[in-house]
A and B are shown apart, each in its own frame.
Chain A
C-alpha cells in the first residue's frame, strides 16, 4: 500500500535511520493488524496443508474477504467518525431482493434493478444519518431500529409481491461478467471491486482533506463543529456510503448466486465490525486507517476459512475468532500507546 510515510526511501541505511523508520512504522494504526495477519497466514499455511495457500484455497478466503471488505471499509470510516452502523445486515438482503424483484420477478432491465437496489441502500443510509444528526440517540440504537425496519419491510413486501421468501434472477451476460463472475473459475470478480473501494476510500480518508474532518469528527465532535467542519453533512454522507456499500454487496451476491433470500446478511454485522476492530480502528472513534481495515478483513477471512483446511473441528473456529479479536484489541492498544508516546527524540532508540 502506498503511503507517504511508509514509502519514504532510506538513502543510507545506518542503524539509527532504520530504527527511526521502524519506529515510525510501528506507530502506524495498521502495524498491529499487519502482524496479526502475518501470524494467522503462517499458522494456516503450516497447519492447513498445501491446500490453504493453493489458488483454490486462496480464492476461498479472498472471496469471503472481498464481500466483508467492501462493507468493513465504510463501517470503519463511520467508526473513526465515532458512529456505528448495524443496519448493513438488513440492507444486504433488501438490496439483493430489490434487484431480484425488479429485474427477475418483473423482468425489467438489470440496470434498473441494480439502480433501485443501490438507491435503497442510499435511502436507508440517509434515514440513519438524519436520525443520528437530528436526535441524540446513539447510532447503535438507531441503526438497530432501521435494521429491524428494513428487515420487516423486506420480508413483508417480498412475500406479498413474489409469494415466497426467495426470488431468483438470471442476469444478462454483461452484468454477470462485471458483477457476478468468477475469474479463473474461482476468484469472484467482487475482489476487484473491493480493490476499487479500497483505493477510493484510501483517497478519501488519507489523501483528501475530508479525511481530516472524519478524524476530527470522531476525535471531538464539538470541537470539530466549532472549527467549521460540516459535521452533520459529513455524518449523513458516511451513513449513505455504508448503505450504498452494503447494497453493492447485496447486488453482487444476487448476481453471483442468481437468487436472493430474505434471511441473508446477518453475519455481516458483527463480522464487519470485527474486521474493523482487528484492523486497529478505535471503537470510540478518532483513530484508524484504511490499510488497517484491509489487514483486519484479511485476518478475519483467513481464520474464518482456514479452519476448514486444518484437522481442527470447524465448530471451534468461533473460539479462535473470539480470541483473535481480544488479542487484536490488546495489541492495537499497545501500538496506540506507542504512537501517543512517540517523539522523534526518543523514537530513534527503539
Chain B
C-alpha cells in the first residue's frame, strides 16, 4: 500500500494567525487512490488545515508538495487549477439552479461565436446527468431539475461528480456526511469509494468514526492543531479512535473525573479548565 505515489504532501506545516498558533508541525501525505481520514473534534484545526490545503491560507512555515515538488498556492483558484477540489458540507451548490446550470457554473458550455455565444443548455444537462449517473446515482435523470429538490446525499454526489469531471486529483470532503441520514450517508460513502477507485486522492474530514472506518485507508487524528495519531486501516479499533478524538484520554477516564468532581463539589459540574488542566499545552 505504501508504495503508491503521494499526490499532496504537507511537511512540518505550521500556521498561526497573529499570536495564535492554530496548526503545529503538521506532516501528512495523500496518495493516489487512497482515502485519508482527518478526524478531530470541533476546534481541532480541521478547517484551517483544509483551507491551507485548498490554498486559502498560506502556511506560516513548512512546505506543501505536489507530486514531490514544493508548491506555493497563490490562492484558492491556483489550488483548484492544480487539481485540488473542496466539497463543503452542503455541496456548495445553488439550490434554485438546475442541475445542468449549477454543474457548469462559471465554466458554461457555449455554442455560437463572438458576442452571440449562447449557453448550451442541452449539452450542459447531458454532461451533468451522465457524470452523476456514472457515480451510481441513477435517480438523477433530468438536468433541468433544481438542485434544491435533490436529497442531501445526491447534492454531495453531484458536487463530487462535478469536481471529478473538472479534473480534480485531490478531493477534499469537508464533513460530507455530517448532516445526512444513515441511508444518504452510505450513498456518499459509496461515491467516496468510487472516487478512490478512479485513482483520486481523497481527504475525508469527519468526526463520525464509523463513516471514517467505512472508507478510510489512512487516518490522522487532529487535536489542538497537532497530529495526535497517524495510523493505517486496521491498526486501531473504533473505541481507540473515539478516545483519541476526545482529547487523548479515554472516555472512561473522563467519566470518572466528572463523577469525582461532582461528589466533591456538591453536584456542580466541573469547568472546562479543570477537565483540560492536566493535558493543556
Q: Does A339 contact B (CB under 8 A)?
A: yes
Separation in Å of the B87 CB from the closest CB of chain A? Answer: 11
Q: A144 in the interface, Cβ–Cβ < 8 Å?
A: no
Whole-angstrom CA separation of A228 from B139 in the bound complex: 29
User: Contact check: which of A216, A229, A341 meets B97 at CB < 8 Å?
Assistant: A216
Evaluate contact between B94 and A219: CB separation under 8 angstroms: yes
Question: Using a Cβ–Cβ cut-off of 8 Å, how many residues does chain B contribute to the interface with A?
Answer: 28
Does B257 interact with chain A (Cβ within 8 Å)? no
Q: Are A286 and B106 in contact (CB under 8 A)?
A: no
Please state if B119 and A209 are interface contacts (CB–CB under 8 Å): yes
Interchain CA distance A228-B106 in the complex, whole Å: 6
Q: Does B104 contact A (CB under 8 A)?
A: yes
A227 part of interface (Cβ distance < 8 Å): yes
0 or 1 for each of B80-96: is its CB under 8 Å from A? (1 = yes): 00000000000011111
A209 touches which one: B97, B117, B148 (CB < 8 A)?
B117
Interface centre among B106, B144, B148 (most CB of A within 10 A): B106
A311 sits at the interface (CB 8 A) = no
Our count of residue pairs bridging A and B at CB distance below 8 angstroms stands at 82
Chain B contacts for A220, CB-based, 8 A: 92-94
- Supposing A220-B94, A223-B93 touch, asked if A342 and B117 sit within 8 A by C-beta, the answer is no
Within 8 Å of chain A (Cβ to Cβ): is B118? Answer: yes
Q: Assuming A212-B105, A216-B105, A344-B142, is B119 touching A226 (CB within 8 A)?
A: no
What 1/0 mask marks residues of chain A from 210 to 248 whose CB sits below 8 Å from any chain B CB?
Answer: 011101100110011011110000000000000000000
Tell me the residues in window 196-217 of chain A with beta carbons closer than 8 Å to chain B beta carbons.
Answer: 207-209, 211-213, 215-216
B residues lining the A interface (CB < 8 Å): 76-77, 92-97, 101-102, 104-108, 110, 117-119, 121, 139, 141-142, 144-146, 148-149
For the complex, what is the distance from the CA of A152 to the CA of B106, rounded to whole Å?
Answer: 40
Cβ of A164 under 8 Å from chain B:
no
Give the nearest-CB partner of A336 in chain B: B96
Q: Which 9 A-B pairs have the closest CB atoms?
A: A219-B94, A227-B106, A209-B108, A287-B96, A286-B96, A344-B142, A340-B149, A340-B148, A216-B105
Check if A215 sits within 8 Å of B106, measured CB to CB: no
In the complex, chain A residues whose CB is within 8 Å of the CB of B121: 4
Interface of A is mostly: helix
Q: How far is the CB of A214 from chain B (nearest CB, A)?
A: 11
A344 to B142, CA, bound (A): 7
Q: Which residues of B contact A286 (CB under 8 A)?
A: 94-97
Query: In the docked arrangement, what's the CA distance between A158 and B77, Å?
Result: 50
Contacts of A336 in B (CB 8 A): 96
Q: Which residues of A contact B141 (CB under 8 A)?
A: 344-345
Check A334 for interface membership: any CB of B closer than 8 A. Answer: no
Query: B residues within 8 A CB of A340?
Result: 95-96, 146, 148-149
Does residue A282 face the partner (Cβ distance < 8 Å to B)?
yes
Q: For the complex, what is the distance from the CA of A228 to the CA of B95, rounded to whole Å?
A: 19
Chain B CB within 8 A of A5 CB: yes
Q: Is residue A343 within 8 Å, beta carbon to beta carbon, of the partner chain?
A: yes
Question: Measured between alpha carbons, how far is A282 from B117 in the docked complex, in Å?
Answer: 27
Beta-carbon contact of B149 and A343 below 8 Å: yes
B132 to chain A, nearest CB (A): 13
